[in-house]
């Protein structure tokens, strides 16, 4: 069988491409073993296990770029793949901004301090995985008599390695693990409508994973809480985003704060660096160097040292996330934010996105809201990054006199993101992590809620 160690593959691709005349090139290679156990109503629904290898090669010759990927590493096929990539670069136009990172930007250390790997995931036995998923689902089903069904519980893990090599001598790899457990519970409402809710935990290490019963109980609680949901009135009121939903909002904002969106003119943040857009409560950062999180990494998809980047500081927009290409186009410096898979060119994006906590306990934010909407679910794609227009389907709770009055379904909130950030008038102290993002409870002073 062919050699499949990622660092060897990436280095070999670079060497072969240079031999075939590539001026500059880099290769990213992944290998991982995935394992999934899905349980439903106590029975095994699915067992999946597989090991996967893939490599993406970027070639830049005379400013002309091509990117190709393969998972066939037999020597003849691999050699042909590299030759075709070098040849394909002739199609594109010369672009003075295309190129590898300057050597001084390349990372030197590994990811040892980042705690990306947990040996315990390697040794987690199939029977233990099945038990964890069963316990998670059982906790949901037993939580309340009104929980009548389940979409099951699923435990997935990945043990993998990421390697990057380039023609400027960079060659590094790091191992990484991840594990996630989720379940979805269903309750039947009086009108026959089903109310469902899902909860999950996703971490780098087994030790950090939320315990299975807690995940199950949260999912069940959230399903039961939605019983009796009705439509909201159409009016302008304060809107509170619970932490998971505030993290989604921060993600929409961060998507507009990338060099890719900037040079395409497709962001409402274009030309607004240094401007105060948010209220003083809004601080949003991207931090790939925080240990043990899903987006943590020692270097980005081009080998540039990963570092913290502030997007908003107390409301002031500080700037964009860049990779090398978009930075050169915009006369800026890369922020080490290149995201990269095997099939496409690097492009900048957040690694671990954090909406920084405030000082107000979340309960006080609700108690301080006379009438409003607490959002616990977001649906749909109604966000226009170019204009910042924001319109999302929501579920959650109507608040009256500082208390939860009733659950709400089939509602929509709309506004524009710049005004929403400017109108943030409360930020909770309850910072919560969800995979590669974290946020506290966030209140926007006024938005349009549509219902009946």
Partner 1 sequence: MAAMSDPSREAGQFFADRYGIDSARIASLLSDALAQGGDFAELFFEHRSNGAISLEDQQIKSAARSVEQGVGIRVVKGDSIGYAYTESLDPEAMRLAAGTAARIGEGGDRPTAIDTTPVGAAESHYGEAALLSDAPAAAKVALLDRADRAARDYDPSIARVDATIADERKVVLVARSDGQIVGDVQPLMRFNVMALSQRGESRQTARTGGGGRLGVEYFDRVTPEDTAREAARQAVLQQDAVDAPAGEVPVVLAAGDSGILLHEAIGHGLEADFNRKGTSNYTDRIGQSVASDLVTVVDDATVAQSRGSINVDDEGNPTKRNTLIEGGILRGYLHDEISARHFGVEPTGSGRRQSFKHPIMPRMTNTYMLPGPSTPDEVIGSVEKGIYCVSFSGGQVNISNGDFVFSTTEAYLIEKGRITAPLRTTNLIGNGPEALSRVSMVANDYALSDGRWTCGKEGQSVPVGVGLPTVLVSAMTVGGTNLG
Tell me the closest approach of the beta carbon of residue 392 to partner 1, in angstroms.
7
Residue 113 or 234 having the CB closest to partner 1? 234
Residue 91 or 207 having the CB closest to partner 1? 91
Provide, for the chain, the percentages of residues in helix, strand and coil under a 3-state DSSP scheme, each rounded to the nearest 5. 25, 40, 35
Tell me the closest approach of the beta carbon of residue 49 to partner 1, in angstroms.
5
Measured distance CA(340)–CA(325) in Å, rounded:
13
Produce one character per residue of 364-384: b if its CB has 16 or more CB atoms within 10 Å, e if not: ebbebbeebbbbbbbeeeebe
Tell me the closest approach of the beta carbon of residue 250 to partner 1, in angstroms.
20
Tell me the closest approach of the beta carbon of residue 93 to partner 1, in angstroms.
4
Produce one character per residue of 229-255: b if its CB has 16 or more CB atoms within 10 Å, e if not: beebeeeebbbbbbbbbbbbbbbbbbb
Tell me the closest approach of the beta carbon of residue 165 to partner 1, in angstroms.
19
Q: Are 68 and 83 in contact (CB under 8 A)?
A: no
Residue 171 or 266 having the CB closest to partner 1? 266
Tell me the closest approach of the beta carbon of residue 124 to partner 1, in angstroms.
16
Q: Are 55 and 13 in contact (CB under 8 A)?
A: yes
Burial status of residue 297 (CB atoms within 10 A of its CB: 0-12, 13-18, 19 or more): buried
Pair of tokens at residue 295: 């987006």
Helix axes 6-19, 75-88, angle to 10 degrees: 50
Which residue, 274, 120, 135, is CA-closest to 214? 135
Output DSSP code: residue 78: H
Q: Are 157 and 178 in contact (CB under 8 A)?
A: yes
Pair of tokens at residue 26: 């880099």
Tell me the closest approach of the beta carbon of residue 221 to partner 1, in angstroms.
17
Q: Are 313 and 293 in contact (CB under 8 A)?
A: no
Residue 296 CA to chain centroid, in angstroms? 11
Residue 130 or 310 having the CB closest to partner 1? 130
Tell me the closest approach of the beta carbon of residue 307 to partner 1, in angstroms.
27
Residue 120 or 235 having the CB closest to partner 1? 235
Torsion on CA atoms 19, 23, 24, 27, rounded to nearest 10 = -30
Tell me the closest approach of the beta carbon of residue 35 to partner 1, in angstroms.
10
Residue 444: left if φ>0, alpha if ψ -120 to 50, beta else—which one? Answer: beta
What are the beta bridge partners of residue 407? 397
Tell me the closest approach of the beta carbon of residue 21 to partner 1, in angstroms.
16
Residue 10 or 411 having the CB closest to partner 1? 411
């Amino acid at each position: 069988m062919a050699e499949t160690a990622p660092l060897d593959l990436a280095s070999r691709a670079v060497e072969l491409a240079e031999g075939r005349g590539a001026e500059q090139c880099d290769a990213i290679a992944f290998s991982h073993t995935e394992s999934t156990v899905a349980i439903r109503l106590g029975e095994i629904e699915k067992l999946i296990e597989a090991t996967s290898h893939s490599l993406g090669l970027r070639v830049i010759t005379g400013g002309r770029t091509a990117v190709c990927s393969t998972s066939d590493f037999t020597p003849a096929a691999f050699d042909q793949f590299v030759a075709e990539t070098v040849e394909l670069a002739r199609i594109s136009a010369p672009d003075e901004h295309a190129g590898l990172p300057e050597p001084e930007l390349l990372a030197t250390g590994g990811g040892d301090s980042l705690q990306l790997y947990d040996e315990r995931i390697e040794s987690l036995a199939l029977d233990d995985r099945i038990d964890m998923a069963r316990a998670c689902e059982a906790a949901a089903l037993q939580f309340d008599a009104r929980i009548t069904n389940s979409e099951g519980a699923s435990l997935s893990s990945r043990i993998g390695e990421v390697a990057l090599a380039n023609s400027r001598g960079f060659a590094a790899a790091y191992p990484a693990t991840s594990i996630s457990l989720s379940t979805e519970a269903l309750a039947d409402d009086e009108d026959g409508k089903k109310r469902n809710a899902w909860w999950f935990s996703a971490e780098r290490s087994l030790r950090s994973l939320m315990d299975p019963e807690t995940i199950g109980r949260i999912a069940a609680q959230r399903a039961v809480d939605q019983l009796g949901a009705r439509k909201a009135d159409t009016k302008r009121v304060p809107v509170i985003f619970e932490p998971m939903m505030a993290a989604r909002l921060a993600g929409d904002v961060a998507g507009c704060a990338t060099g890719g969106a900037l040079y395409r003119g497709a962001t409402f943040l274009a030309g607004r660096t240094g401007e105060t857009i948010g209220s003083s409560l809004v601080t949003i950062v991207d931090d790939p160097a925080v240990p043990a999180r899903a987006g943590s990494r020692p270097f980005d998809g081009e080998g540039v040292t990963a570092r913290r980047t502030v997007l908003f500081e107390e409301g002031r927009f500080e700037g964009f996330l860049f990779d090398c290409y978009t930075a050169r186009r915009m006369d800026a410096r890369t922020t080490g934010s290149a995201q990269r898979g095997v099939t496409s060119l690097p492009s900048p994006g957040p690694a671990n996105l954090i909406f920084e906590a405030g000082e107000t306990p979340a309960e006080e934010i609700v108690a301080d809201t006379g009438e409003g909407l607490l959002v616990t679910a977001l649906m749909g794609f109604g966000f226009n990054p170019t204009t910042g227009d924001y319109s999302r389907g929501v579920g959650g709770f109507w608040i009256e006199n500082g208390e939860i009055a009733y659950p709400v379904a089939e509602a929509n909130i709309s506004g524009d993101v710049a005004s929403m950030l400017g109108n943030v008038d409360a930020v909770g102290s309850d910072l919560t992590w969800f995979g590669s993002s974290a946020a506290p409870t966030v209140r926007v002073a006024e938005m349009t809620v549509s219902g009946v």
